Amino acid sequence: MTADPTGSRSASGWVRTSRDGAVLTVTLDRPDQLNAQTPATWSALAEVGASLDDDVRVVVVRGEGRAFSAGLDRSVFDTSSTTAGGLGELVRLPVEEAQERIRAYQAGFRWLRSPAIVSIAAVQGHAIGAGAQLALACDLRVFAEDAQLRLPEVSLGLVPDLTGTSTLVELVGYSRALEMCMTGRAVGAAEARAIGLATLVVPGPELEDAVADLSAALLSPPVGASRATAALVRSAVRSDFPTQDAAERAAQVQRLHDLAGGR
């Protein structure tokens, strides 16, 4: 799959892309199934990430129809099935191979924190399980008022394994993240805004315009300063004070040299 101005669609992952200047929009395109995901979806998402060119600065992830994503497609759940990509296939693989398979699935999510971009999840309706983790994989989340995020994996005897736990703890803290994952309860838009999960909450009809406005605001600073600042904010999550202070010094000196050189 390539990201191009005319748009493209994955062969079997129900993912399509469209490009408007420096903004790439990635759409889960399976509205009749509430954008339920399969391993093919994650492969398609990983291909999008691998195809990014340096001119892309903002990536918007959205779901077609009335839901962002209802999570994992039910056909994948049966552990007794030998369907390719299903949980049953994972059970039958050697442990290390099964973990490598999941690593490949995670690649469809982790690229949304790539250094050169800022990613925005436009969330309406349900964002459940893999859908919730896809929203969490993004840097920012704009919720419609009807949005609900839920991580029900533990109730199915599973764990969240698509990069969601690290981001959730970053956003809401250990205790609240533990409570959300262990209970699998739904978090509505108002609570999501209050606890830092949602960057912005808007009425449903305003979701597209709100995301467009946010994208434009993110594109307004010079690209070099924008990317350097994003890198600093991301590193601050895990760095101690001396390490972060040093990163700021180094980044600022580099920016001064770039500006002096006309970049």
Tell me the angle at which helices 130-137 and 95-110 cross, rounded to the nearest 10 degrees.
50
* Distance, CA of 152 to CA of 154 (rounded, Å): 6
What residues act catalytically? 153
Distance CA 38, CA 75 (A): 9
With contact defined as beta carbons under 8 Å apart, do 35 and 29 qualify?
yes
Dihedral angle at the C-alpha atoms of 211, 217, 220, 223, nearest 10 degrees? -70
Give the up-direction half-sphere exposure of residue 123: CA atoms within 13 A in the CB hemisphere: 37
What is the distance between the alpha carbons of residues 220 and 227, in angstroms, rounded to a whole number? 12
d(CA 111, CA 102): 15
Distance of CA 175 to the CA centre of its chain: 22
Q: Please, what is the Cα angle at 35 between 7 and 151, to 5 degrees? A: 130
